[in-house]
Chain A
Amino acid sequence: MAKQHDIVCIVCPTGCRLKITETPNNGWLIEGNTCRRGEEYGIKEVTNPTRVLTATVRIEGAHLRCLPVKTKEAIPKEKVLDVMALIRQVTVQAPVEAGDIIIADVLGTGIDVVATRRMSS
């Protein structure tokens, strides 16, 4: 029985219902999409799903206690909770600029966790 996934595409508001079936030559058959981007999303989502993670780290010396951060690019979905565990251990000092690297190359993904706003001291 060929492996089959039913997912909703999230690339645009239409939300096509995709049916993704593994083909004998290790390929994928996508049905239900109405555009190319949906096909690409479907394949990615079943072979290597990724997510951009947004969170906050503790900051000292600023007007708020939290500094918002994000992974600069999408990371493998299965690493999200482990990256969160690391993020929860971090405390930074103000001042910080948007884009400053908070955790470099997080969990060997090659992707940095960066600040998403300026916070002065």
Chain B
Amino acid sequence: MEYDIVIIGGGPAGLAAAIEAKKNGVDSILVLERDRELGGILQQCIHNGFGLHVFKEELTGPEYAQRFIDELNGMQIKYLPGTTVLHIAGDKVVHAVNGTQGYLMIQAKAIVLAMGCRERTAGAIAIPGTRPAGILTAGTAQRYVNMEGYRVGERVVILGSGDIGLIMARRMTLEGAKVMAVAEVLPFSGGLTRNIVQCLEDFDIPLFLSHTVIEVRGKNRVEAVVIAQVDAERKPIPGTEMTYECDTLLLSVGLIPENEVSKTAGVRIDERTGGPIVDESMESSVEGIFACGNVVHVHDLVDFVTQESRRAGMAAARYVLNNGHRAGETLEVLAKNGISYTVPQRININNEEGQLDVFFRVRKIYIQAKILVHSDGHMVREVLKKHLAPGEMAHLTLDRAELKNLGGRTLTIEVEEVHHG
């Protein structure tokens, strides 16, 4: 089996990449999706808030997915559902399995990695206590409730105030469960303010910042959960314990890009993001292998996944049509003071297009800040930004010609707090 472009993952990233690759002149495209249908994580995100940038409308996850699924089908792009990719071998041979065709080996000219991310598990955070049934990651509970039709629990405590935890606090309440508390180990919530209001305040669900779960009790099923306040070193403070009798503990404690397959192809991974190191066209360290979406870095808005994935799809198409070559020099992007990471990690200064976007996250909350961009000692840009937070990916737009003229080897991005005098 041979295809010019093989796309691993048929969620919002894979769909946008496939459509854009076809629009850029490549017909031989195959999308591999492990679930029964396309759409990825969007099919379980039945809440709204998607598409404000891309469609200027507020859509639910399934509605956003359907726009792209319809477009893909309209363009007759081929896909195989129920198909799991095992590894990428040798020179871009994708090994996969499904229930109808068995074992597949697909020779690709270019590959787009769009596998998304996984949730951090209970085991990974080692909560003391017993290990009864009733402890689930919030996303798993979301799939059970929204797609498979299961009632996950009656009395719920949630650990983690990221958006998935907040959304599930509301969802469980609407389906008749009692959500007793949300505990967040940090002194601030990682979720959107909109969700704090509409998921917690609307239902009088208390949020305990600087708190964590210190014990799970229960033999066959969760019977109670103990929450305590933590100090600056995240150590529980004695005397602050609160015990909640409940039957379910939902965990919303982090998302991790899923790169097991990427590693089999020898793609270099950035430790800070957990995803492939990419340049601004989303090409990885392996020529002809591109990556986009949550597999590169976890996004807050699917709209940015779509934009990023269109870049990857276009670049994959150009790579195939140009018979593959890696354009020359790259500038290494350094994330310094206050910046936890940037995507891209490298910039190809010889690529034609005029402007490029650098996406980044800050390490803490800033009310007013200055983003400083410099290249080997030369100042490139100083941008004032209001309200930066780790939970809200930010970006700046740079001009490629300007960077090329500076002739540097590195580009440094850092943030400075701005205080009013």
Binding site for B on A (CB under 8 A): 7-8, 10, 13-15, 51-56, 58, 63-66, 68, 70, 77, 80-81, 84, 88, 98, 116-118
Check B174 against A116 for contact (C-beta < 8 Å): no
A68 to B176, CA, bound (A): 17
Q: Provide a sorted-by-A list of 8 A–B residue pairs whose CB atoms are within 8 angstroms.
A: A7-B197, A8-B197, A10-B198, A51-B198, A64-B147, A70-B60, A84-B175, A116-B62
- Report yes or no: B149 in contact with A14, Cβ–Cβ below 8 A: no
* Nearest chain A CB to B79 CB, angstrom units: 16
Shortest Cβ distance from residue A91 to the other chain B in the assembled complex, whole angstroms? 11
Chain B residues contacting A15 (CB-CB under 8 Å) are 193, 387
Least CB distance from B136 to A in Å reads: 17
- Residues on the B chain within 8 Å of A8, using CB: 193, 196-197
Tell me the total A-B contact number using a CB cutoff of 8 A.
75
B194 surroundings in chain A (CB, below 8 A): 10
Chain B's nearest CB lies how many Å from the CB of A117?
4
B146 interface residue, CB < 8 Å from A? yes
Q: Given A63-B37, A66-B146, are A13 and B193 neighbors across the interface (CB < 8 Å)?
A: yes
Q: Which residues of A contact B60 (CB under 8 A)?
A: 54, 68, 70, 116
Chain B, interface SS category: helix
The answer to whether A70 and B48 have CB atoms under 8 Å apart is yes
Which 6 residue pairs of A and B lie closest in terms of their CB atoms, listed nearest first? A65-B149, A117-B62, A68-B46, A10-B194, A15-B193, A116-B60
CB distance from B208 to the nearest CB of A (A): 18
Contact B387 A13 (CB under 8 A): yes
Residues facing A in B169-187 (CB within 8 A) are: 174-176
Interface magnitude class on chain B = 20 to 34
> Closest Cβ of chain A: how far from B124's Cβ, in Å?
29
Q: Is the CB of B63 within 8 A of A117?
A: yes
Partner of B47, one of A54, A65, A98: A54
| New A-B pairs, 8, CB < 8 Å, besides A55-B46, A70-B60 | A10-B197, A64-B147, A66-B146, A66-B148, A68-B146, A84-B174, A98-B63, A116-B63
With both beta carbons as reference points, the residue of chain B lying nearest to A52 in the complex is identified as B48
CB-CB < 8 A to B174: which residues of A? Answer: 53, 55, 80-81, 84
Q: Which residues of A contact B196 (CB under 8 A)?
A: 8
Chain B residue at minimal CB-CB distance from A34 = B386
Residue of A nearest to B63 (CB): A116
Complex Cα gap A63–B37 (Å): 10
Given known A-B contacts A14-B387, A63-B37, A88-B176, A51 and B202 have beta carbons under 8 A apart? yes
Contact B37 A68 (CB under 8 A): no
- Binary per-residue interface labels of chain B (15-55) against chain A in the complex, 1 for a CB within 8 Å, 0 otherwise: 00000000000000000000011000001001110000000
B66 close to chain A: CB less than 8 A:
yes
How far is the CB of A106 from the nearest CB of chain B, in Å?
Answer: 14
Which A residues touch B37, using CB under 8 A?
63
Nearest CB in chain A to that of B65: its residue: A117
> How many whole Å from A19's CB to the nearest CB in chain B?
16
Nearest neighbor of A83 in chain B, beta-carbon distance: B174
Q: Which of A14, A52, A118 lies in contact with B386, CB distance below 8 A? A: A14
